[in-house]
Chains A and B, each alone.
Chain A
């Protein structure tokens, strides 16, 4: 069976004036439709580089990424990207920020606007359509960023440390919301994070990356019992503790623990 996303032999070299840096080395991975994958590793292990390559923003030195058999060479409307910070445009209102993707693609119309309003309302942002980003809290802004990403109905959603800059309560709420909305729309997702508990709570598989150069070290399957639970509830399950322990030991053996 053909995989939904295929990452084939990706290697990436950064060439600076004085040095060359091998950021990623021979990354291979097949991702099935609807799967939630996490790339876990310390900062500087090339996680974000990998995500930029998958999204088509960055051309890899070697190898290729395929989405439904087609090679990704530039950003596409089928791939959504969410960043560590919201990067909302301060001069646009919340609703204008939310439908920015459609505006860029030239697909904005009345029915899209209505859809975006519904998405915002579902995220508890029903009464702030006309406000500006600086009037909202950090958690609310990140929810707007999520709506902006989801609104164009991407097949693949890339989450680049999307929950890392938030306080614990907001982070857990947003993890739950994100998982619900991704499942509802049957979107495939790749999360990049340095937080192994977040990775376990949200994913079907956790890919542990080695650093310098970034290589796949080990892939952990998350037990089906945990996958069924919300990220918040999953954290209280005994199997979560077991897998955490396992990954924690792997991280320590690698000498790359971040905690």
Chain B
């Protein structure tokens, strides 16, 4: 076949794929716009109770109002800070505990049943204990974020450590490498993709921990806004907070997704 023909075929294929992508994106946008429109319409025509479900125009108005008086920004940054701290520290502590377990097989065998029990337990149930321990402060809220993701990170990352190819470890050993070198040269880098997927899971979990923590103690933050809106029966505020949480959670997830693509490229 002529080169020109091949090029034409390739261009046609590319156009087809591009069209498909456009159709999908267009459908997604239609669902969003249509959904919001339907919500507004349903609330205005009282198909649904506007007091309970609010309506998009009211939410947008409230957003504008709260944004301009600066209060929304404070609540947003407080919660964002707590969540980022919670999931980064939770992942870090999880990797550290997993490292200890890998380092000492004795410790890992001893702690195994305790980890299983602790993992099975609903961590938010420990909320009151944490508040007693750390006081009604931001530390308590971050501790909730950490607590909720640390054990699952430990288990997943430790399983990843154990699955590292023994032959790669053998290569290091034949050069007389010690345990620390096994860890830094092979075990940890081989587990980076697993740690990143743990980060992805932890983003979601840390939001749960932080919002529950704010329900319990805080005086500011998006969780506080939700509980406050609920108490004064202002569901527009509840909805606004939820939408902001959804947007932030998505952004954080996407950032980790980008990090993953960048880091995992040469790890296969």
**A interface vs B, CB < 8 Å?**
55, 57, 74-77, 79-81, 83, 85, 87, 89-91, 100-101, 103-105, 132, 134, 148, 152
Task: State whether B173 touches A75 (Cβ < 8 A).
Answer: yes
State the Cβ distance, B146 to closest chain A Cβ, in Å: 28
Residue of B nearest to A79 (CB): B174
Q: Give the contacting residue for B267; candidates A79, A87, A90, A103; CB below 8 A.
A: A90
Question: Could you jot down 30 A-B contacts, CB within 8 Å?
Answer: A55-B174, A57-B170, A57-B173, A57-B174, A74-B176, A75-B176, A77-B176, A81-B170, A83-B167, A83-B170, A85-B167, A87-B167, A87-B168, A87-B170, A89-B185, A90-B267, A91-B190, A91-B192, A100-B171, A100-B172, A100-B175, A101-B175, A104-B175, A104-B176, A104-B181, A104-B185, A105-B175, A132-B266, A148-B171, A152-B175
Determine if A105 and B173 form an interchain contact, defined as CB atoms under 8 angstroms apart.
Answer: no
**Closest CB in chain A relative to B177 CB, distance in Å:** 4
**B 71-91 binary contact with A (CB < 8 Å = 1; else 0):** 000000000000000000000
A-B CB proximity, top 10 nearest = A81-B174, A104-B175, A101-B175, A104-B177, A132-B266, A91-B189, A87-B167, A75-B176, A75-B174, A87-B171
A74 smallest CB distance to B (angstroms): 7
A242 to B136, CA, bound (A): 88
Question: Chain B contacts of A134 at CB under 8 A?
Answer: 266, 268
* Complexed CA–CA distance, A48 and B173 (Å): 16
B165 contacts the other chain (Cβ, under 8 Å)? yes
Q: A80-B174, A83-B170, A100-B185 are in contact. List 9 more A-B contacts (CB 8 A).
A: A81-B174, A83-B167, A85-B167, A89-B189, A91-B266, A103-B185, A104-B176, A105-B176, A148-B171
- Chain B residues near A85 (CB, 8 Å)? 167
Interface centre among B172, B176, B192 (most CB of A within 10 A): B176
Residues of B within 8 A of A76 (CB): 176
- Is B186 part of the contact surface with A, judged by Cβ < 8 Å? yes
Nearest A residue (CB) for B178: A104
**CB nearest to B176 among chain A residues:** A75
Q: Which of B173, B177, B266 has the most CB of A within 10 A?
A: B266
Q: Which residues of B contact A (CB under 8 A)?
A: 165, 167-168, 170-177, 181, 185-186, 189-190, 192, 266-268
**Closest-CB distance, A226 to chain B (whole angstroms):** 30
B contact residues around A55 at 8 Å (CB)? 174
CA distance A104 to B170 in the complex (A): 13
In the bound complex, residues from chain B placing their C-beta under 8 Å from that of A79 are 174
Contacts of B177 in A (CB 8 A): 104
Query: How long is the Cα–Cα vector from A132 to B268 in the complex, in angstroms?
Result: 10
Min CB gap B158→A, angstroms: 20
Determine if A90 and B185 form an interchain contact, defined as CB atoms under 8 angstroms apart.
no
- A104 neighbours in B (Cβ, 8 Å): 172, 175-177, 181, 185
User: Is the CB–CB distance between A77 and B192 below 8 Å?
Assistant: no
Contacts of B192 in A (CB 8 A): 91
Residue of B at shortest CB range from A81?
B174
Contact B165 A75 (CB under 8 A): no
What residue of chain A has the Cβ atom nearest to residue B266's Cβ?
A: A132
Q: Shortest beta-carbon distance, A21 to chain B, in Å?
A: 20
A210–B10 Cα distance when bound, in Å, is 60
CB pair B266 A90 closer than 8 Å? yes
Most-contacted residue by chain A among B165, B170, B171, B266 (CB, 10 A):
B171
Select which of A75, A83, A90, A91 is within 8 A of B175 by beta carbon.
Answer: A75
Q: Which A residues lie within 8 Å of B173 (CB)?
A: 57, 75
Most buried by A among B174, B181, B266, B268: B174
Report the separation of the CA atoms of residues A55 and B189 in the bound assembly, to the nearest whole angstrom: 26
CA distance A87 to B165 in the complex (A): 9
Find the A residue at minimum CB distance from B170.
Answer: A57
State A12–B165 Cα separation when bound (angstroms). 25
> Shortest beta-carbon distance, A136 to chain B, in Å?
12
User: Which residues in A have their C-beta under 8 angstroms from that of B189?
Assistant: 89, 91
Cα A122 to Cα B170 with chains together (Å): 26
CB distance from A33 to the nearest CB of B (A): 21
**What is the CA–CA distance of A76 and B175 in the complex, to the nearest angstrom?**
6
Q: Most chain-B Cβ atoms within 10 A of its Cβ — which of A55, A74, A77, A89?
A: A89
Q: Which residues of A contact B175 (CB under 8 A)?
A: 75, 77, 100-101, 104-105, 152
Distance from A213 Cβ to chain B, minimum over Cβ atoms (Å): 24
